[in-house]
Amino acid sequence: MAGTPSVDLAEQTRIVSRLAAEVPDTGLAGPTPCPEYTVGGLLGHLTGLAVAFRDAGRKDLGPTTDTAPDPAGVSLPAAWREELPRVLGELAEAWQDPAAWTGMTRAGGVDLPGEVAGAVAVDELVIHGWDLARATGQEYVPDEAALRLAHAFLLAAAEEEDRGGGIFGPVVPVPDDAPLLDRAVGLSGRHPGWVPPSPP
């Protein structure tokens, strides 16, 4: 991913914050395209990753950047409705500093070049934004620059795997002329047509 361009995360973090704000308390137990997460689990994961990648961007390395993600250990903070938009805003601000995209940093316990960590953060926001929107029946139009970077990152990751799989799971084939978001979603191991299962 050498030469990855920097992207302003402000608009994509605002989009994710708006999606989260529309989630009713009664919907937190619902399924998402991530089998590991309920809606509440996904919101907890987004909160945690925002903190981790905020600190990675700041090069403020410590417990928040040293811990690998563990879906089984994710919990939704009691004050998540206030905390999630706050830490997403701090994440965007951290990566607006050009220095965040240079040198080395750490996220999830893995040492990464700044530009790669930035691309991972963008990808997480774009794909998990889609997850949240699909799980809660909301319209989703990601930030165009963030989507382009996420797609490029996922495409490179899938090609490097040499097994037809991406960093999130086996790639789901999507037509070459499909919308860019659908192609990114497929590269992330999700089916672009996913909808929540009908209640029994």
Burial of 44 (0-12, 13-18, 19+ CB in 10 A): buried
| Interatomic CA distance for residues 97 and 117, integer angstroms | 14
pLDDT category at 165 given cuts 50, 70, 90 is very low
Q: What is the model's pLDDT at position 161?
A: 59
CA angle 65, 9, 49 (to 5 degrees): 25
| Interatomic CA distance for residues 36 and 112, integer angstroms | 25
Contact 41, 71 (CB under 8 A): yes
Candidates 164, 173, 179, 177; CA nearest to 191 is 173
pLDDT tens-place string over residues 127-163 = 999 999 999 999 999 999 999 999 999 999 888 755 4
Return the amino acid letter for 137: G
CA terminus-to-terminus distance, the chain = 45
Which whole number is the average pLDDT over 97-107? 96
pLDDT category at 164 given cuts 50, 70, 90 is very low
Q: What is the model's pLDDT at position 166?
A: 41
Whole-structure pTM value: 0.92
Residues 93-111, buried b or exposed e (16+ Cβ, 10 A)?
A: bbbeeeebbeeebbbbeee
pLDDT at 111 over 90: yes
